[in-house]
Amino acid sequence: MIFIPTCSQDTTTDLVMKELNPETVFRFNIDKPDDFTWDFHSKGFCIIDKISNKNITEKTLTSFYLRKPMYFDPIDIPKYGSVENWRREETEELLKEFYRECQSRGLVSLIKSKNTHYGKLRQLLTATKYFHVAPWHFFHGELPNELKNGKWVVKSLTQTPIGEGKVFFVKEVDPKLLDLSYPWFMQERIDGEEEVTVVYIDGKMYAANYPRKAFDTEDSRKSLMENPTAWPRCELSKKDEESIRGFMNETGYRFGRFDFIRKDGELWFLELNPNGQWAWLDENNERGLISMVADAIKKEDKEHAISRR
């Protein structure tokens, strides 16, 4: 049985589950603690879904497909903590321990082949071998000379809440106006024709594009939030595919969604989301994206089941 830890609002998991045999899947929504009972102990574990009465144990677990075990209802945490925050942290830590144990037993779906983390900055460093990469700076205290000219966009290295219900989107900003007592991640603006996103599924690729002029902002996520639109599937050149394979082989990732800008026909690397949202690209599975991912999970699950015998 495939264990999928996520949250009730993860629509990508809703869609993947339609392509998996319901008998072989156990979805655990971390934000719905009242829907489940669980017990992890020295000889194994048992999780029961109280709504469906389904259960998963150490005997039936074959794969761990990590999705989005996270909370969308933020809580205020007082200086000395809160019992709700304590409950959340304990549960998340349990899942992380469970994940690591499954990792060591080779049961994690589409797991990386190398045990090295590539955050946004290491991705940008590695990407220069395979794609165009716009100059970037992460700085504090003094404005680097390079930022005194040209057009620059500000980005965020983390998704840490910033307060007042705000989120950090990519935005063009004049660096000279920044308060330098904060750390700033800036990249030179790329004036390309289109955004290209590529879902990489263990060697297979699904690419889609959208013209940049259709966005009224630097960050396509903001446009998607305000005006959800399907992106048409597009072709990649052999050179593009080889570059993507090279990047994935070097970093060890076997799954992820790339974001690029295409300028004068060439790909400019923005980032790889190793566990991003991707089902919005083909929400009715008309072009087969959801089946591609589900098939990869099912294929691996069969291999996990055989290896466990």
Whole-number Å distance between alpha carbons of 270 and 48: 41
What is the smallest separation between the CB atom of 237 and other proteins, expressed in angstroms? 26
Neighbours of 15 (CB within 10 A): 20
For other proteins, the closer of residues 55 and 291 by Cβ is 291
**Cα dist from 191 to 138, 188, 218, 245, whole Å:** 21, 10, 10, 25
For other proteins, the closer of residues 121 and 167 by Cβ is 167
What is the smallest separation between the CB atom of 116 and other proteins, expressed in angstroms? 8
What is the smallest separation between the CB atom of 253 and other proteins, expressed in angstroms? 8
Token pair 């959800």 is found at 228
Contacts made by residues 23-27, CB under 8 angstroms, sequence distance 24+: 24/62, 24/301, 25/1, 26/1, 26/2, 26/54, 26/55, 26/56
Judge residue 23's burial from the number of C-beta atoms within 10 Å of its C-beta, 0-12 exposed, 13-18 middle, 19 or more buried.
Answer: exposed
For other proteins, the closer of residues 115 and 149 by Cβ is 115
What is the smallest separation between the CB atom of 14 and other proteins, expressed in angstroms? 8
Whole-number Å distance between alpha carbons of 130 and 82: 47
For other proteins, the closer of residues 116 and 237 by Cβ is 116
What is the smallest separation between the CB atom of 283 and other proteins, expressed in angstroms? 5
What is the smallest separation between the CB atom of 42 and other proteins, expressed in angstroms? 23
Q: Strands of 36-41's sheet, edge to edge?
A: 36-41, 44-49, 55-57
For other proteins, the closer of residues 145 and 158 by Cβ is 158
**Residues 296, 19: contact at Cβ < 8 Å?**
no
Whole-number Å distance between alpha carbons of 222 and 228: 10
What is the smallest separation between the CB atom of 184 and other proteins, expressed in angstroms? 9
What is the smallest separation between the CB atom of 44 and other proteins, expressed in angstroms? 21
For other proteins, the closer of residues 192 and 274 by Cβ is 274
Closest to 30 in 3D by CA, of 44, 46, 9, 16: 9
For other proteins, the closer of residues 171 and 308 by Cβ is 171
Structure token pair of residue 188? 């030179």
Judging by DSSP bridges, how do beta strands 204-211 and 194-201 pair with one another?
antiparallel
Whole-number Å distance between alpha carbons of 295 and 198: 18
Tell me which residues touch other proteins (CB under 8 A): 9-12, 14-15, 66-70, 72-73, 96, 99-100, 111-112, 115-117, 154, 158-159, 162-169, 171, 173, 177-179, 182, 221-222, 224-226, 228, 273-277, 279-280, 283
For other proteins, the closer of residues 14 and 146 by Cβ is 14
